[in-house]
Structure 1
């Protein structure tokens, strides 16, 4: 199993190319199952989650062609087969194939998914949305089993909360339903809007993506399409925090300010400067850090996927900061590992009180999930001495060439295996 060895104390400086958004790419790959016409996707990140999703659709008969710039998916010979637990256990996003398979073939069976252990993250909203479109759907033997032999019918779907996955499932299924579908309390994340853009290129008619109300016209006439995946705002936010925590300056090429407004606002409150450049964003810190309280919220609020990284930053800021997690339960598993590096953190239910400013010191730490693992890397970048981060396969799920990108900006970091 790979590990990362990091020697702290280096100020990061240089440029980092922000890859395509993993959380946008996964539903777009799943959406390819809706259409018998080819779909070309460009700017897909080279991460294991993307490889796993491509493997999932390949098991349904999709033909996948890769080039240096694009992945082309041809599902003209695809069929609805059981998506087994062995296939889906590595990540939760595999549930996104459920809607497209059901919509196109009238039946689907997908094992309940695995992935990061950051709370229950139930799939009940996916099931309810498909049931409102007319599916006979339930849980049998650890799998979601859905049938709609006469097809799906447009409906008004009111989501109990603005779930990104449930919004994407409802939107994809609705493109093949009869008539119009209205999705209320929809997630507003850029990844949802990017999926709508991809579906639009494929022939769908969707209005309101990026707002709380989405309208989808069914009976789509599919066509061959090409779509360029948006840059990863979470990767961009992570490298912005890397610049901040090391007192460095990084140019984040391809990063989009409009996707990071809440993050930039918080970073500027800590004493970090962020401004647009010709190729993306420039992030710099010259002075001391200031402690800031943060509450995670659905987009456009501060993203839960940056909570662990921001906690690492607050460990280096003099004073006390309170981080409230409102999106997922059990998303503080990085806290004990940060404390191994010398952090002073007290958990209080869904909040974490960070007393920062004391020096961090290198140690052996263990990654527990994707975002938790990168928070340990960030803390190790400023810890005195050497740190070793174990189980870095979590990092490879969502960060393309993290160690190489950091090394190019001056970090002392190497990947090794024992």
Structure 2
């Protein structure tokens, strides 16, 4: 079976730790190709997307193994340059391997990346950045062939902030000859963490956390041990689960400094929280106020990955709420599934109007992508009756043990 069964209506209570960040771990895994030793990623999440990236690295000649929650990657004998279609087309993050392979091997053959269907996500910014660094790019039968006799530093301006394009440019530039300046780049935490990881490997990156990065090329990088940060989207998902069930929970190790926009929305709904000793204490018992207007934005604005989980909460908050999606034009897919549970949601282009109902009703629904699937879990926890969520595999792309986590907080949830 590939489903999750939830009997809802019970407030969550208890304390839970947050898994390592998916969106930080994947580009770091790609970055290990740039050195010829053994890197250790401590606290790496054992999720489907990490497993896909493991297979990509193995196909290139790396040795990959686990010891507890630490992922070891030995890139000493990497000789491959081609990413297999079966893995590259399954996940969006496969595209960042391109920058690493260029830096290590001078060429890369990669299928167009896959992942969740949430709207148009072209990779033109990735390719433009690599071309500026000296790469030649050709597409043959859906495979991108990228080669560079020598990567040279350049000034690169992104017309639109892109996390993936910024990461790819970083990976290709750290060993390029000379200096590279990236302007208009993304400043999301996942970019910041990649910069820290690369700098610890011996890269010279300045301006971390801003929209302008200066990369001074180095001849070699070295092996390193690194702690994967806590996942801000997983933490946000559990904040929403607390709100939807009107519960009281504690997040033990959340990346609080990365959650301002979400916690602001949580407070607007009536949620209460306190930060003490590095822990986040949440009380969702007074969540009863709609959000008159909220739009997704690049960091530090409200994250698009939290839009669907928030919608699931607002579906049972009395009054009218309004969400505008400005990042991905097709990220309201979950609305049709929430309406099966009694939600009243009207979609008009990039706008969603939600009229809260007293209680959602359990139903059989289908996850269509990662964050929408998490939103259905949230809705099911707060609903009256039993909810069956099909296509569990979408959810497991980003959540290591979501059912066990929520069950430990008193949720009646299990994998079927």
Alpha carbons 1:256, 1:281 under 8 Å: kept: no
Secondary structure of 2:127's aligned partner? helix
Secondary structure of 1:276's aligned partner? strand
Alpha carbons 2:18, 2:251 under 8 Å: kept: yes
**Counterparts of 1:139 and 1:183 in 2: how far apart (Å)?**
25
Partner of 1:133: 133
Q: Counterparts of 1:89-104 in structure 2 under 5 Å?
A: 89-104=89-104
- Listed one character per residue, the Cα deviations across residues 342-388 of structure 1 (whole Å, up to 9, x for unaligned) are 00000010010000133211100000000000101111111111110
**Counterparts of 2:275 and 2:405 in 1: how far apart (Å)?**
20
Partner of 1:289: 288
Moved more, 277-286 or 253-262: 277-286
Partner of 2:245: 246
Alpha carbons 2:45, 2:69 under 8 Å: kept: no
Cα drift, residue 59 of structure 1: 0.4
- Listed one character per residue, the Cα deviations across residues 89-117 of structure 1 (whole Å, up to 9, x for unaligned) are 21111011001101111111001111111
Alpha carbons 1:37, 1:223 under 8 Å: kept: yes
Q: Does structure 1 residue 384 correspond to structure 2 residue 391?
A: no
Q: Does structure 1 residue 302 correspond to structure 2 residue 302?
A: yes
Partner of 1:196: 195
TM-score (norm: length of structure 1): 0.98
TM-score (norm: length of structure 2): 0.98
Partner of 1:414: 414
Alpha carbons 2:56, 2:84 under 8 Å: kept: no
**Counterparts of 1:345 and 1:390 in 2: how far apart (Å)?**
21
Alpha carbons 1:39, 1:202 under 8 Å: kept: no
Partner of 2:333: 333
**Counterparts of 2:411 and 2:326 in 1: how far apart (Å)?**
33
Alpha carbons 1:127, 1:138 under 8 Å: kept: no
**Counterparts of 2:287 and 2:332 in 1: how far apart (Å)?**
26
Q: Does structure 1 residue 215 correspond to structure 2 residue 223?
A: no
Secondary structure of 2:25's aligned partner? helix
Cα drift, residue 288 of structure 1: 4.1
Partner of 2:265: 266
Alpha carbons 1:111, 1:143 under 8 Å: kept: yes
**Counterparts of 1:3 and 1:286 in 2: how far apart (Å)?**
29
Cα drift, residue 219 of structure 1: 2.3
**Counterparts of 2:81 and 2:199 in 1: how far apart (Å)?**
26
Q: Deviating runs (4+, > 3 A) in structure 1?
A: none
Q: Counterparts of 1:16-415 in structure 2 under 5 Å?
A: 16-149=16-149, 151-292=150-291, 293-415=293-415
Alpha carbons 1:15, 1:253 under 8 Å: kept: yes
Seen in structure 2, the aligned counterparts of structure 1 residues 244 and 102 have a Cα distance that, compared at 3 Å, is same
**Counterparts of 1:375 and 1:313 in 2: how far apart (Å)?**
8
Alpha carbons 1:7, 1:387 under 8 Å: kept: yes
**Counterparts of 2:85 and 2:376 in 1: how far apart (Å)?**
30
Secondary structure of 1:306's aligned partner? helix
**Counterparts of 1:396 and 1:203 in 2: how far apart (Å)?**
34
**Counterparts of 1:272 and 1:325 in 2: how far apart (Å)?**
23
Cα drift, residue 51 of structure 1: 0.9
Alpha carbons 2:304, 2:325 under 8 Å: kept: yes
Alpha carbons 1:204, 1:220 under 8 Å: kept: no
Structure 1 unaligned spans of 5+: none
**Counterparts of 1:414 and 1:226 in 2: how far apart (Å)?**
35
Secondary structure of 2:242's aligned partner? helix
Structure 2 unaligned spans of 5+: none
**Counterparts of 2:87 and 2:318 in 1: how far apart (Å)?**
46
Alpha carbons 2:59, 2:84 under 8 Å: kept: no
Alpha carbons 1:323, 1:351 under 8 Å: kept: yes
- Listed one character per residue, the Cα deviations across residues 124-168 of structure 1 (whole Å, up to 9, x for unaligned) are 11100000001111322101111112x100001101211000000
Seen in structure 2, the aligned counterparts of structure 1 residues 129 and 286 have a Cα distance that, compared at 3 Å, is same
**Counterparts of 2:160 and 2:215 in 1: how far apart (Å)?**
19
